[in-house]
Copies of this chain bind each other. A is one copy, B any other.
Amino acid sequence: MPVWIDGRPAALLPVTDRGLAYGDGLFETIAVRQGHIALLERHLQRLGEGARRLALPLDLALVRSELLAFAGELGHGVAKLIVTRGDGQRGYAPPADAHCRRILSGNPPPAYPVGHRLDGIRLHPCATRLAEQPLLAGLKHLNRLEQVLARAEWQDPACAEGLMCDSSGRVIEGVFSNLFMVRGGELLTPSLARCGVAGVMRAEILVRAAAAGVATRIGDLDCAELLAADEVFLCNSQYGIWPVVALDCHRWPVGELTRKLQGLLVDLVDA
């Protein structure tokens, strides 16, 4: 599998990189099908927004051209892009002359059981809460210890994902997915103003659902609303949509709107 640093094959980076020292950077996990990048513009848009908010001097046109060339070499799989603030001396102050480092790693397509998509999955209720930090909310940055702690909570393969709430008890997302619920025909997804990652598939689903005449709403949602939902599903850029059918002793059916939305994404996801 190919690995590039700054546009050239390389698999080692200096210990002085600020991505290592402070998690001072961003990443994207990008589905590549037959050399074609799914949701390229959405990935670049989120990356650009993250770079703006972290004041990373990132050349997005360069990232785009490197991504396109890398996807051609990878062919079929997952391209993971890490962007850091590059090398730094000791100390938190961002260097005035920072040069962002771009790291691209190829991986095989994820091998999730087909049953996750067809029959739905069970959620582990994570005890790890997401801290509320509006300055970082929505970004796919490199400070991901909360996800590491949450994912380490369960080994039971019967749970394919975990449910994460914020420290105030609002329902936010999965460990590596965004969350949607359906109530009375309306499609709801948690606000990511305080924490959480604004997934590219979440954004795409909101747009395609609205275009198909589905009412959509982003807002604060609590556990009671989750349990009262008619349908619940997760999404991310790799697997598309997984229906959620169980959390502890609660059960949801694989719903009609969930199936319809899966059907609207067939161009983006491996069958």
Contacts and interface: CB of A to CB of B under 8 A. Distances in A.
Interface of A: 3, 5, 11-24, 27, 29, 54-55, 78, 80, 82, 84-85, 89-94, 103, 105, 107, 110, 128-129, 131-133, 135-136, 141-152, 167, 175-176, 195
Given A11-B14, A103-B15, A152-B55, A145 B143 contact: yes
Oligomer: number of copies? 2
A151 B15 contact: no
Contacts of A175: 92
Given A131-B131, A135-B128, A16 B144 contact: no
Given A22-B142, A131-B132, A132-B132, A92 B176 contact: yes
Contact of A151 (B11, B78, B92, B195): B92
A55 to B, nearest CB: 6
Contacts of A133: 129, 131, 146, 167
A12 B20 CA distance: 11
Contacts of A143: 22-23, 143-145
Nearest to A17: B20
Given A20-B142, A23-B144, A94-B151, 5 more contacts: A12-B12, A24-B144, A29-B90, A55-B152, A93-B152
